[in-house]
Amino acid sequence: MMSNAEMDRRWSAVRAVMAREGLDWLIGTSGHPWGYYRYLTNRVGLAGPLVAMPLEGELILASHGDEVHHKPHDSYGVRHVASCSQLNMMVNSHAPLLVKEMKTKPVKRIGLLGTGFIPIATYNIIRAAFPDAAIIDATDAIARIKAIKSPEEMRFIREAAAMHDEGVQIARRTLRPGITAREVVEEVRAHFTRNSSPVQTMMGGSSPRTEVCRYSGPIDRKIEPGDLFSMLIECSMDSGYYSEAMPTMCLGEAPKHLRIAFDHAVEIQEALAAAVRPGMLPSELLAINDRFMTSHGYPAERRLLGHSQGIDLVERPAFSPAGENLTIEHDMVISIHPTVHTSNAWGLPNNLSFHFTAQGMERLLKTPQEIFAVE
């Protein structure tokens, strides 16, 4: 849980934007996975939680509950209301609870946060309740606040990074012939679960040394001597904060074609990290990456080169070919994960997360950038 001082800092920054934009309320929900509702309330809610933040006064958290099983309870700066609605039912939004609270004062302008995650049912209820109010997408300005990390947030992020370092080492100790990638993944997952990680995204796969090894599988293939293994570890800790790692391993010496792809992935990642400047748009980094990739005969990036990271695994700004208008700034945590694709190898850096400080880009994981040989 974040301190009251940290919550006051967030609310002050967000309300400054609300005052500037003439917003009476902000409405947010979950994200990837926690989103704006947890960022603004310091709470975890069930079944489509919503937050309503007024320009002044207590925030309203609406989530699944009743007076018996999940009785609502207030917390610092937050009033909790509950209903039995769930996203997959006919009554599928807690928004009526927010409307009741919002109607206690005049409402002229409402901002939505993370509009890609806000259900149409919630929007329709808000729109019908306040037909004369302007409803705008307020995400851009608040996403920037969320992306710039405080010292308190950095403490939790460093804890998450350290756990990912431990996860890589557990995978190295577990990997051996005769088992499957699933067994390695579940051993790492158990370690995270024992250490209070509430949400884990983990994948693993193996292949013969002459073929592409993908962390997306096959996960149940029996691993043999000389095989390759790749894993994706993306987990949040009890604080909600994330890190990630993508280790590559080989039972024996890594083949030359994989070493070349891996070394190029590390080389361009280091070049991208060195190129980061405050005020830079992600499109500038994408251009650097794509020039490197195409000059070496590899495909340009068509997915996600990197992104900010914190209480959500993927936060804005996102380094996406689809576009991004938020700039990179000091004190953002940035994951940079270029991928080299060839006909027989994927090159992926192990160590992905950086803290962008006034002194430069600081790596948050201690895991070395190498293909781990497992005997």
Q: What pLDDT is attached to residue 144?
A: 96
Co-location of 155 and 133 in the same domain? no
Answer yes or no: are the C-beta atoms of 58 and 30 closer than 8 Å: no
Co-location of 199 and 238 in the same domain? yes
Look at residue 68 and tell me whether its pLDDT is greater than 70.
no
SS3 call for 351: strand
Say which amino acid occupies 353. S
Co-location of 309 and 189 in the same domain? yes
12-38 average pLDDT score: 95
SS3 call for 48: coil
Do the bridges between strand 248-251 and strand 372-374 make them parallel or antiparallel, or are there none, so unpaired? parallel
Q: What's the pLDDT tens digit per position in 234-265?
A: 999 999 999 999 999 999 999 999 999 999 99
Q: Which one of 126, 147, 168 terminates a domain?
A: 147
Q: What's the pLDDT tens digit per position in 270-313?
A: 999 999 999 999 999 999 999 999 999 999 999 999 999 999 99
CATH number, position 27: 3.40.350.10
Q: What pLDDT is attached to residue 61?
A: 93
310-335 average pLDDT score: 96
Look at residue 73 and tell me whether its pLDDT is greater than 90.
no
315-327 average pLDDT score: 95
**Could you tell me the pTM of the whole model?**
0.93
Co-location of 192 and 53 in the same domain? no
Phi, psi of 240 (to 5 degrees): 100, -15
CA distance 349 to 328: 21
Residue owning tokens 């070394």: 263
Answer yes or no: are the C-beta atoms of 227 and 233 closer than 8 Å: no
Percent of the chain surpassing pLDDT 90: 86
Q: What pLDDT is attached to residue 82?
A: 78
In the predicted model, what is the mean pLDDT of the chain? 93
Q: What pLDDT is attached to residue 30?
A: 87
pLDDT category at 89 given cuts 50, 70, 90 is low
Q: Which one of 147, 173, 208 terminates a domain?
A: 147
CATH number, position 359: 3.90.230.10
For residue 86, give its domain range. 4-147
112-137 average pLDDT score: 95
Co-location of 253 and 358 in the same domain? yes
Look at residue 69 and tell me whether its pLDDT is greater than 80.
no
Co-location of 121 and 243 in the same domain? no
Q: Which one of 127, 147, 167 terminates a domain?
A: 147
Co-location of 253 and 330 in the same domain? yes
Co-location of 32 and 100 in the same domain? yes
Q: What pLDDT is attached to residue 220?
A: 96
pLDDT category at 63 given cuts 50, 70, 90 is confident
CA distance 342 to 348: 12
222-237 average pLDDT score: 96
Domain total in the chain: 2
224-242 average pLDDT score: 95
297 CB burial (10 A radius; 0-12, 13-18, 19+):
exposed
Q: What's the pLDDT tens digit per position in 168-178?
A: 999 999 999 99
Co-location of 363 and 294 in the same domain? yes
Look at residue 74 and tell me whether its pLDDT is greater than 90.
no
Phi, psi of 148 (to 5 degrees): -85, 115
Q: What pLDDT is attached to residue 91?
A: 62
Co-location of 91 and 111 in the same domain? yes
Say which amino acid occupies 159. E
Co-location of 138 and 179 in the same domain? no
Co-location of 208 and 356 in the same domain? yes
The helix (H) or strand (E) run that includes residue 79 is strand 78-83
